Structure formats: C-alpha cells, structure tokens
Structure 1
Amino acid sequence: MSSASAQTDVLVVGAGPAGSAAAAWAARGGAEVVLADAAVFPRDKTCGDGLTPRATGELMKLGLEDWLRAHTVNQGLRAHGFGQTLLLPWPGGNLPSWGSAVPRTELDDHLRTTAIKSGATAIDGVRAVDVRREGDRVAAVVFERGGRDGELVEITCRRLVVADGVRSPLGKVLGREWHRDTVYGVAGRAYMDSTRADDPWISSHLELRGEDGGILSGYGWLFPLGDGQVNVGVGTLATAKRPANIAIKPLMSFYADERREEFGLSGELRMPTSALLPMGGAVSGVAGRNWALIGDAAGCVNPLNGEGIDYGLETGRFIAQMMTETDDLTESWPAMLREHYGESFSVARRLAGFVTVPRLLPALGPAGMRSDWLMTLALRWMGNLVTDEDRDRSARVWRWAGRRSLALDHRPPFT
C-alpha cells in the first residue's frame, strides 16, 4: 500500500460484485476510488454461480455482454418436483431473455479488473478492522495487513461504501444489525463433472428431501457452467422460530448422489462450502452521513431463491449515482433501498416464511407443479424478474401484494 493510496475520495471495502460495480461506476463518474478487499484475488466465494436476467442486464450496463456470452448462456429454468418436470423460459419483458452461470472465482476477479480498468485503484490482502470518526462522519478506515496482529494502515476518505458480504464485519463496527425474526437462508455448494455441463437450462428441484425422505423447506440446484462441470448445491429456509437444524454438506452429498444418473455426474464433490444468508433487507443501520452498506452487507438477498448478485450489481450502481447527488446518506440511502426493494422483499420473505411451516409445502407443491402458467408466474416472482418499468398484469399484482405485505410488517426491510 503506497502512500499515494492512503487517501481517496471514495473508499469501497469489499471487491465482490457489489463493491466492484460501485467502484467501477464511481470511477467512471470521475471520482478517485480505492477498492480494498481482505482476500487476495482471484478468490472463491460460496455461491450457486447462477446469473438471472436481472444480473445479466446489469453486466450488460457495465459493458460486459460479449465477455458474458463467451460463457454458458441459458434459456430458463427446468423445475423438478412432485412428479413433474417443467421447462420455464426466462420471461423477458424489460429484462434480457437469457441468463448465464460463471464461477465466482472468475466472475468476481473479472468485475474487479473492470473496476480497475474504469480507473479505480485496487488493494487486496487488507482486512478492514475499524473506523476513525470525525463527528458524524467516517474520516478513515483502519486496515490490517499481513493477517491478524499484522501492520495497521489507515486510508482516509470522503465517502465510504461497505460491500464486505453477508457477515459484514465493518458494517458491524458501524452499527449494522441483522434481525433474525424474518426468514434467512442456509446454503451450500460444490462442483462436479457432468455430461450435461452444456445444458441450456438451469435445473432446480423444488421437492428437496432429506435422507429420511422428509420434505425440506428449500430446494436443490444444478447449474451448468459450460466447461465440463456443474455447480451443485442445496439451500434451506429458516426463521428464529423454526431454525434449520440441518447439516448442509451431508445433505448436499445426498442430493448429488440422487442426481448422478440423470445428470451424468461423476467423481466427488469438489470445493464444498456453505454460508448463512441474511435475506430480504433484514438488517438495520445501513447508512450514515457519508457511508452506506450495499449488496449482501445490506441484506439484499432474494428470500425466495437466495439470489444476491443482481442486487449487488444494482446497489453498486445506485450508490455511485446517489453519492453525486447528496452529501448525507443517513436517510436517503435506506429510502432508496426501500423504494426499489421494500415491497418485493416484504412479500417474498413473507412467502418464504410460509414455506418453513411444516406440511405446507407438501400440501401446496403438487398443485403448483401441475400448472405451467402458475409456475411461469412463480419463476418471475421468485426470481424478482419484475422491474419498475413493467406494467403488465402480473407485475401489477406483485406490486399490489408487496404494498399490502409492507403495511403488515412490524419491521419493514432496512429498518
């Protein structure tokens, strides 16, 4: 870390999709930007690697369509469950009609490189451990270099963007709090060789069963990566009242074994990892006068499918724009998050909470899987593929449900 990088206009902590997008957009807007991360890139991250049309649309805005199309391109979701298999194309509308899947080791490294090419200065291997305040502003972030008990280095900044993931250690320093009274996720993923790695459909099994045969409140997935392998994983939903008492890695192994013949899987699970996911804006303390949390750090994860890359990319773009419009983010940033995600997150986490109720999924799942129309509608809603510009009937119904749900929340998203 050179003396030239010891101060900056915009400091972004965390170089995942959210942080790299924020750094790229801020640098393109003319700001001096430092992008810092605790890991040394390229690095892995627990993720399904899937990119929905909402995410591909954001990557296209960054100018990465050609790069993304050089990877696998998928047409939609193959949904399995309750004796049915449905092919559900991506709905399109105001979003692209295609998706993709790129391992996070590659995706995040490329996004970080995009931020660098946009003008940001990137520093890795430095862990943010504290802040120095001047009144109600963050004047600097203290970093530790060289592991625990390493050298402490301070970077001063005019504005701070925190994008350090679901656990958000720097967010905690700033007062971020995760509220577990709403639904959260527990997920795991690994990689396996597959004869169907070029499949133009991603696959999800909505009837996820444990080794005892019982139906679990979650789903399993196989996302083709186009390089001879698939991302295979499972995710379950839980609340404080109904916690997920499940060993994720054994469940993931059982799920993969059940799918070996159908999907041509071979070998053992490689690089298995798991994570706990705050969802649906179930966090408070997401902004101060000159700082803001974005992406996973702000709980911007879809409660119905665990997707967070799209929100990370979006909030990175939003915060870069907002920092040019206001000097005080304390109220304006949470208001922006609620404007864009409040209604959809509220109704999505309410529906996801219902899924955790025993016997509800076995009762309703078979009826839903018998209807292509209903599942196509569910794909659009569950994938949050409704944009602010959509005016069709299903979009209006979703927004109507969101407003009604929001009115019932004792703790609305981001409060």
Structure 2
Amino acid sequence: MSDPTPTTTDVLVVGAGPAGAAAAAWVARAGLDVVLADAAVFPRDKTCGDGLTPRAISELERLGLRDWVRAHTVNHGLRAHGFGQTLHLPWPGGGLPDWGSAVPRTELDDHLRTLALKSGAVGLDGARAVDVRMDGDRVAAVVFKVSTAPGGGAGATSELREVACRHLVVADGVRSPLGKLLGREWHRDTVYGVAGRTYVTSTRADDPWISSHLELRGEDDEILSGYGWVFPLGAGSGEVNLGAGTLATAKRPADVAIKPLMKVYADRLREEFGLGAELRAPASALLPMGGAVSNVAGRNWALIGDAAACVNPLNGEGIDYGLETGRVVAELLADATGRADDLDLGTVWPDLLREHYGESFSIARRLAGLVTVPRLLPALGPVGMRSDLLMTLALRWMGNLVTDSDRDRAARVWRWAGKASLARDARPPFS
C-alpha cells in the first residue's frame, strides 16, 4: 500500500486491471490528480487467456509499451483447427497492427499498474470498496476496507478509509461489486461465457501462431458450444496458456464442468503440442459479454472494461476493450476539466459506449447465441472450415478487427449487419 494516500482526488479509479490502469495512466498524463485503488496487492493473478489481439496491441502501443510487449512473444495470427481441417489465418492488419502477443496477466497487469503510478497516479493496494457516500445524484466518496499489513497476511487488521472524488471510474471486473452498489445489473438473456484457463509446459511455447480448436468436445465426445485455445507464452516462459470456454444463455445454460473439461482437452492435445503432465493454476470465471449490463454510469461515475461487460461475445476477449474504455473515459474527463458540473456521465457514457461498440456487440452476441442452439454448430462448422475466405472473414469479425477507418467490403458488411441487428434488439447493449 502506498502512503500517504490522498483523502480527496480529482478522479478515483477502483480496479487496477488493464482498464483501470489505462484510465489512471491517461488521466494522470492529462494533469489530473488520480488515485488507483484495488482490493488486491500486486502482483496478483487473473483468470484470463492472456492473449493480446492486434486491437489490444494498438492500445499498448499508444501507452508506449510496444517494445516491452514484443520482448515477450509475437504471433502472426490464428491457427484454426476443427472438423478435419487446419487453417492458418494471419492477422489482417489494415487499420490495426498485423501482429499479436500473449503475456500472463500476473505480469501484464502489474506492469500496467506500475506504468500508471509512474505516470503520476497514487496507488492504494489491499483496499476493497465497501460503500459509497452520495451527495444528491453524485458520488461524493468511496469507503474502502483497507488492510493494515502488506499482503493481508496472518495477524493483519483492517480499517475503513474514505476517499472523496470529483469523478469515479469503476473498473472492478466481471463481478463488479462496486458497480452493483451503484445499481449495475447483468442481463443473462443474451449470450455469456463460462471459461477456464491453466498453464502447462509445452515444447511449442515459442510457436508463432495461437491455436483455437473450434470443434471442442466434451468427455463423451459431444460437440460443445464453445472453443479451446492454446496461446504460446514464449520460449523464455516454456509454457502455454491452455483453456476452454463455452457459451450459454438463460434459456440454454452451460451444463459443463470447466476444470475437468480443460483436463480432457489437454489430454487430447498432449502429444501434438508436447504438453507436460501438470496443469498449473487452473481457474475459471463467468463472463458477462456484449454490453449485457444496465446502469453503467451515473452523474459523475462510469463503469469501464469487464465491469461494463465490454467483452467480445465471439472470442471472450476483453483486454482490448478494457484498454480502450480506460483511454476514452480519461479523454472525456480531461476534456471536462474546469466544467465538471456540465458533464453528466449518466447520459454521455452509455451513449458513447453504444457509439463505439453497440453495432459490433449486437451482431456478435446474436451470432454467438446461435452457437448455443443444439446441432447448429455440428451442421455449419464443417462448411465454414472448408473455406479459407469464410474463415478469414470470421477471424476479422470474431476478433472485432474492423476499425472506423476501414472502408473495404468486409468492413461495410459487418457494419450493415451490426446496424440491422441493433435495430432488432429488445435490449440494446448497455441499456
């Protein structure tokens, strides 16, 4: 825990993962006072596939971390396996970098948080947000339960500490306990994810391709509505991040035990990928996706990243959206400096999220929902895997690798589909 911690600040960021750390770094670089608080003491682990798509790389480059990322591992694209086919699909480039990477979240998150502190943010570790103090329709302060001993070890005590703020940024992850206090609600009628990951040694830790198995099978060899992945972490690590995720809705919940599924998946790939016997640090999580939450902002507060369900429904990716929303909310707050009373985040932020992600999230969660329909994936999967063109388009669309500057036919089709889908939504993203 960094001391002394200010009792008041311009911007209070709760949650120091990629979204919160990016927001704090950009806010501090804009010259505002910012406190970056987290319930954990860093470094800490986070359940994640660890993959960094070109969209995430673009944001890390903006933060000045290009060389740091490239020193870990660089991949060229996706190796897609399934239905008797294997396709190599390079990252499309265009308005985004043409390379990706993978960095364990224990290291990535700690580095991003350190970057935020070096940019001028003040850190508050081991501080769990337990309450808010309101002043009318504004958050006046957040109450933290703070550990009085580093790491919260044996004999540690805690105390309540209040930090007052002009603006609050909530980046406390998929469960978002602070978001719930402020009224955040997760809607499970649209698709959500159930995913797990583990680390395992591999003779292909320096493979220049990430692998995705689109024909994910369970213990009884049944095809599941999801996919498995193997993300190489580089020769220096000697490991890969191996995981599996399935898709579900309230009508069609996932009836899968993720941790046993990862063992089945690893056993099937052991010879091909030279996997070791031990699956290290297995962990799993539920993933709200595609903006399937309401009450993402109030008068002077906003949810970003996973807390706002900014997770791609087609591939489970959230790091890129966390970094993006952290930057965008920081730009919004910096532009409002000196006229805080004129900025109503409760109106502006949901509209901005829908402008940035509404169309792509709407069509993505609609398509992902179709995958949960029994027998649909076994029928259509073999057709798609027989076409390099279809799978190249799928990679670009699934990864949301379409930028506002892209004007090619694939980009135009994706935007048209997104507009049509959004018009049909009973509950649009972020509402």
Q: TM-score band, normalised by the shorter chain? A: over 0.9
Q: 2:396 aligns with which of 377, 380, 383?
A: 380
1:142 and 2:146 are equivalent in the alignment: no
Q: Distance in 1 between matches of 2:3 and 2:48?
A: 33
Q: 1:4 deviation in Å?
A: 4.8
Q: Which residue of 2 aligns with 1:121?
A: 122
Q: How does 1:302-317 map to 2 (within 5 A)?
A: 302-317=312-327
Q: 1:363 deviation in Å?
A: 0.2
SS, match of residue 87 in structure 1: strand
Q: 1:366 deviation in Å?
A: 0.1
1:37 and 2:38 are equivalent in the alignment: yes
SS, match of residue 334 in structure 2: coil
1:251 and 2:267 are equivalent in the alignment: no
Change beyond 3 A, Cα 1:4–1:374: closer
Q: Which residue of 2 aligns with 1:211?
A: 219
1:152 and 2:160 are equivalent in the alignment: yes
**Structure 1 residues without counterparts, runs of 5 or longer:** none
Q: 1:3 deviation in Å?
A: 5.3
Q: Which residue of 1 aligns with 2:418?
A: 402
Q: Distance in 2 between matches of 1:123 and 1:42?
A: 13
SS, match of residue 279 in structure 2: strand
Q: Distance in 2 between matches of 1:340 and 1:45?
A: 26
Q: How does 1:15-414 map to 2 (within 5 A)?
A: 15-146=16-147, 150-226=158-234, 227-326=237-336, 327-414=343-430
Q: 1:329 deviation in Å?
A: 0.5
Q: Distance in 1 between matches of 2:158 and 2:191?
A: 38
Higher alpha-carbon deviation: 255-264 or 2-11: 2-11
Q: Distance in 1 between matches of 2:81 and 2:183?
A: 42
Higher alpha-carbon deviation: 140-149 or 394-403: 140-149
Number of paired residues?
Answer: 415
* Residues 173, 305 of structure 2: 8 Å contact kept: yes
Q: Distance in 1 between matches of 2:270 and 2:179?
A: 41
SS, match of residue 345 in structure 2: coil
Partner amino acid for 2:241?
N
Instruction: Please give the root-mean-square deviation of Cα atoms over the aligned residues, in Å.
Output: 1.0
| Post-superposition CA distance 1:18-70 (Å, at most 9, x none) | 00000000000000010000001000000000000000000000000010110
TM-score of the superposed pair, with normalisation by structure 1? 0.99
Q: Distance in 2 between matches of 1:3 and 1:195?
A: 47
Higher alpha-carbon deviation: 139-148 or 291-300: 139-148
Partner amino acid for 1:206?
L
Q: Distance in 2 between matches of 1:392 and 1:27?
A: 37
Q: Distance in 2 between matches of 1:376 and 1:41?
A: 39
Q: 1:325 deviation in Å?
A: 3.2
Q: Distance in 2 between matches of 1:367 and 1:46?
A: 33
Q: 1:150 deviation in Å?
A: 3.0
Q: Distance in 2 between matches of 1:149 and 1:285?
A: 34
Q: Distance in 1 between matches of 2:247 and 2:64?
A: 35
Q: Distance in 2 between matches of 1:11 and 1:388?
A: 30
Partner amino acid for 1:232?
L
Q: Distance in 1 between matches of 2:188 and 2:365?
A: 12
Partner amino acid for 2:227?
Y
SS, match of residue 115 in structure 1: helix
Q: 1:406 deviation in Å?
A: 0.2
Partner amino acid for 1:197?
A
SS, match of residue 94 in structure 1: coil
* Residues 32, 334 of structure 2: 8 Å contact kept: no
Change beyond 3 A, Cα 1:8–1:184: same
Partner amino acid for 1:159?
H
Q: Distance in 1 between matches of 2:253 and 2:279?
A: 26
| Post-superposition CA distance 1:127-162 (Å, at most 9, x none) | 001100001100000000127983111000111000
* Residues 5, 122 of structure 2: 8 Å contact kept: no
Q: Distance in 1 between matches of 2:204 and 2:90?
A: 18
Q: 1:324 deviation in Å?
A: 2.6
Change beyond 3 A, Cα 1:218–1:322: same
SS, match of residue 402 in structure 2: coil
SS, match of residue 190 in structure 1: strand
Q: 1:91 deviation in Å?
A: 0.3
